[in-house]
């Protein structure tokens, strides 16, 4: 029996749109429809102004991700793992749908963090966003860290905030240390994550892009698949590792 290829996957908003979560800059994107919302998720504004924090929590609560279910695209990546081919699953999404679908938390690298957890800006203590939202409902407009009283925020990377260097480094290593890099539902326009494609190419890794729209890396990809992700990704997984 031939060993399965070692596949690193990079996912962006496009894999979650079929779950009802709009992408950020597409036609129905969050920032496209409401540019003012972007200011709520900029770290300097957030830290400086309790009212920005209150409105930011409310905007988080309105995120359709809370009620969203994983789709066939997420499930295809669980299957890829089950067939022994998943090296790492790097995601730009904060919705936790890969883990909800059944991907092993150990293999998921959330380069932009996640919205399910909250973190204290001062002491780093972790709690649940749901807890902060419940306190907001109870009348606390600026729920503070229960350990130290510091400012709480979702465990997401906001605009103006650096990515976690350890997570980023692990993503870069995974891009080079694999046979195939599959980039799914990402426009590959946001650095430094997009540079995973450069690292992969230099390491001789086969690059496959699955996305609705063109990306800057299409010209160097071994293959570009334009179809609906919920159909294209299960088909690609079957092709990379045929079902036994």
Residue 234 within binding range of Zn ion, rule CB under 5 A: no
Judged by CB under 5 A, the residue of 150, 170, 176, 206 near Zn ion is 150
Which CB, 104 or 147, lies closer to Zn ion? 147
The residues, ordered by sequence, that sit 6+ positions from 44 with a Cβ below 8 Å of its Cβ are 160
Of residues 32, 104, 147, 189, which one binds Zn ion by CB under 5 A?
A: 147
| Long-range interactions of 216-221: CB distance < 8 A, separation 24+ | 216/188, 216/189, 217/183, 217/188, 221/197
Nearer to Zn ion, 61 or 146 (CB): 146
State the catalytic residues: 112
Site string for Zn ion, 98-137 (x = CB under 5 A): ----------------------x-xx-x------------
DSSP 86-124: EEEEEE---S-HHHHHT--GGGEEETTEEEEEEEETTT-
Token readout for 57 is 């929590």
Contacts with Zn ion by CB under 5 A: the residue count is 8
Q: Is the Cβ of residue 120 or residue 197 nearer to Zn ion in the bound state? A: 120
Minimum CB separation from Zn ion for residue 112, in Å? 22
Asked if residues 107 and 89 have their Cβ atoms less than 8 Å apart, the reply is: yes
We find the least distance from the C-beta atom of residue 128 to Zn ion, in angstroms, to be 14
Nearer to Zn ion by Cβ, of 124 and 242: the residue is 124
Q: Could you give the CA distance from residue 146 to residue 87 in angstroms, rounded to a whole number?
A: 37
Q: Which helix (H) or strand (E) holds 229?
A: helix 229-240
Site residues, Zn ion (CB under 5 A): 120, 122-123, 125, 145, 147-148, 150
């Amino acid at each position: 029996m031939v060993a399965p290829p070692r596949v690193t996957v990079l996912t962006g908003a496009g894999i979650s749109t079929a779950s009802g979560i709009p992408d950020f800059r597409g036609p129905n994107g969050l920032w496209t429809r409401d540019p003012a919302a972007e200011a709520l998720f900029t770290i300097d504004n957030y830290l400086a102004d309790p009212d920005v924090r209150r409105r930011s929590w409310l905007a988080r609560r309105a995120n359709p991700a809370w009620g969203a279910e994983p789709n066939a695209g997420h499930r295809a990546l669980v299957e890829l793992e089950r067939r022994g081919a998943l090296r790492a699953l790097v995601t730009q999404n904060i919705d936790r749908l890969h883990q909800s679908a059944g991907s092993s938390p150990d293999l998921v690298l959330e380069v932009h963090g996640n919205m399910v957890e909250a973190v204290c800006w001062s002491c780093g203590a972790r709690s649940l966003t749901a807890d902060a939202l419940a306190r907001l409902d109870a009348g606390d407009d600026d729920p503070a860290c229960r350990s130290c009283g510091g400012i709480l925020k979702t465990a997401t990377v906001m605009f103006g905030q650096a990515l976690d260097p350890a997570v980023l480094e692990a993503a870069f290593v995974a891009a080079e240390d694999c046979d195939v890099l599959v980039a799914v539902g990402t426009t590959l326009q946001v650095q430094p994550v997009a540079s995973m494609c450069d690292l992969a190419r230099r390491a001789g890794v086969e690059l496959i892009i699955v996305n609705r729209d063109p990306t800057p890396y299409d010209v160097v990809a071994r293959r570009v698949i334009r179809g609906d992700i919920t159909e294209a990704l299960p088909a690609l997984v079957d092709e990379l590792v045929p079902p036994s």
